[in-house]
């Protein structure tokens, strides 16, 4: 990870902070968590805009320390090549869109280079407008362009006639940047802005744009990753967006990083009940784990509101949980097959070995909410009165099964669809 970003921060005030994660060069990592969980504070700490008085730890980019409390290192925001897209855009109201972007560009950028970037983001005709003349989504794209020019390498055209066609505003900005870079190189040899590794920090950059524009920005971000190998951090509340864009996600709660991993793995296998809640898992239940044959276990699904004994589901035994251990567990609906109701009776039946030990469970569709091509379905297992399972099923599947609300289906639950977690003891 020497070429990427490494963050390890601890602080008790003004907010609790226990952050530890990394991001490789060219990787996109999404910080996911509820409002007020500290995601934006982490971005601001990396950019140097927020440093608690009692903070301990380090921020390193490509092996260079931006912050190291043990060594007494703390670079100023101007010394960190961090492109940050703020939630509120933070554009200069008296400057045009092009001037806002040019202000952050290095001395090798020409007016034509900036205009070309604005064009790629659908802002060619709006480059001379001021922020108050732009919609919220347009302002957000300008803010993204400004962040990109700060972390992107010098454009290929920089070496040829850098002042040709450059406006007086951009010439002044370039002169300012050249002077700033020179002053940095004098005060901090080897740490000139253009020589420093960059980090792109995105604080919900797509929240204010319409769906077509969002898709355009997704493509631009994907194209950028092919050209610029810098760590990229994305703060988002949109779990679908995190799954679509991120290589890894970091689940954040109350200033603490709870779990890191590939989106599909984290969302299907949360570390604990709190992570399951934060990633929006609806099918979260209680039970008890029992060891069975080598490599296999039995998950006894219990209902805390009922004295019934419960039912057993086949589950993979990873030898991480002892026999007869109370657990909570989640069901990954993507690994559940829905079949026509062919077998009556309330008892859950283990499927054959050919069906990889999947468990067959008869359920009634108690609610079907159509959302276009997808229907949000609530199912009640016949063997577990009072419990419900929520699945997103295609309308096409429901038509093929010829079933609607009040009808019966059978769920074939693969062992891999079940993820179990030990119950934390309180006290």
What pLDDT, on the 0 to 100 scale, is given for residue 17? Answer: 92
What pLDDT, on the 0 to 100 scale, is given for residue 426? Answer: 43
Query: Which pLDDT band, with edges at 50, 70 and 90, does 427 fall under?
Result: very low
What number is the average pLDDT over the span 221-248? Answer: 87
CATH class of 5-273: alpha beta
The C-alpha atoms of residue 27 and residue 318 are separated, in whole angstroms, by 30
Q: Taking 60 as the threshold, does the pLDDT of residue 6 lie above it?
A: yes
Beta strands 256-261; 248-253: pairing state: antiparallel
- 183 contacts: CB under 8 Å, gap ≥ 6: none
pLDDT, one tens digit per residue, over 168-184 is: 444 334 333 433 333 33
Mean residue pLDDT of the chain comes to 83
pLDDT, one tens digit per residue, over 252-270 is: 999 999 999 999 889 888 9
Burial environment of residue 200 by CB neighbours within 10 A (0 to 12, 13 to 18, 19 or more): buried
In the chain, what are the domain boundaries? 5-273, 284-422
Beta strands 325-331; 336-340: pairing state: unpaired
Residue 221: which H helix or E strand, with range?
helix 211-227
Pick the CATH number of 284-422 from 2.40.50.100, 3.40.50.2300, 3.40.50.11400, 3.20.110.10: 2.40.50.100
Q: Taking 90 as the threshold, does the pLDDT of residue 129 lie above it?
A: yes
DSSP per-residue letters across 129-169: --GGGS-HHHHHHHHHHHHHHHHSPPPGGGGS-TTTT--HH
């Amino acid at each position: 990870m020497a070429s990427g970003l490494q963050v390890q921060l601890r602080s008790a005030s003004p907010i609790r902070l226990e952050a530890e994660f990394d991001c490789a060069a060219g990787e996109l990592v999404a910080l996911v968590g509820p409002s007020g969980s500290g995601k934006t504070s982490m971005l601001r700490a990396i950019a140097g805009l927020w440093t608690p008085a009692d903070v301990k730890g380090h921020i390193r980019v490509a092996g260079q320390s931006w912050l190291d409390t043990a060594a007494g290192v703390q670079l100023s925001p101007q010394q960190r090549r961090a492109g940050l897209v703020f939630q509120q855009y933070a554009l200069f109201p008296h400057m045009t869109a092009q001037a806002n972007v040019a202000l952050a560009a290095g001395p090798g950028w020409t007016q034509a280079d900036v205009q070309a970037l604005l064009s790629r983001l659908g802002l060619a005709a709006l480059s001379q407008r001021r922020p108050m003349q732009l919609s919220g989504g347009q302002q957000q794209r300008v803010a993204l362009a400004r962040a990109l020019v700060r972390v992107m390498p010098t454009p290929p055209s920089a070496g040829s006639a850098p002042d040709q066609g450059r406006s007086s505003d951009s010439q002044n900005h370039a002169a300012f940047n050249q002077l700033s870079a020179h002053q940095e190189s004098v005060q901090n040899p080897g740490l000139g802005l253009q020589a420093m590794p960059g980090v792109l920090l995105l604080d919900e950059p797509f929240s204010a744009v319409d769906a077509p524009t969002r898709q355009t920005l997704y493509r631009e971000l994907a194209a950028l990753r092919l050209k610029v190998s810098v760590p990229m951090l994305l703060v988002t509340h949109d779990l679908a967006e995190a799954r679509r864009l991120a290589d890894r996600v970091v689940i954040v709660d109350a200033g603490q990083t709870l779990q890191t991993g590939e989106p599909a793995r984290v969302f299907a296998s949360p570390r604990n009940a709190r992570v399951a809640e934060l990633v929006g898992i609806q099918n979260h239940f209680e039970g008890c784990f029992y060891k069975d044959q080598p490599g296999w276990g039995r998950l006894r699904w219990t209902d805390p509101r009922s004295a019934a004994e419960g039912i057993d589901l086949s589950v993979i035994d990873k030898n991480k949980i002892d026999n007869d251990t109370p657990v909570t567990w989640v069901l990954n609906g993507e690994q559940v097959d829905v079949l026509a109701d062919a077998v009556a009776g309330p008892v859950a039946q283990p499927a054959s070995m050919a069906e990889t030990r999947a468990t067959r469970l008869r359920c009634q569709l108690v609610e079907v909410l159509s959302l276009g091509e997808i229907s949000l379905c609530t199912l009640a297992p016949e063997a577990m009165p009072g419990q419900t399972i929520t699945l997103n099923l295609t309308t096409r599947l429901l038509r093929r099964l010829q079933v609607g609300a009040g009808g019966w289906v059978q769920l074939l639950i693969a062992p891999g669809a079940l993820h179990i977690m030990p119950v934390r003891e309180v006290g």
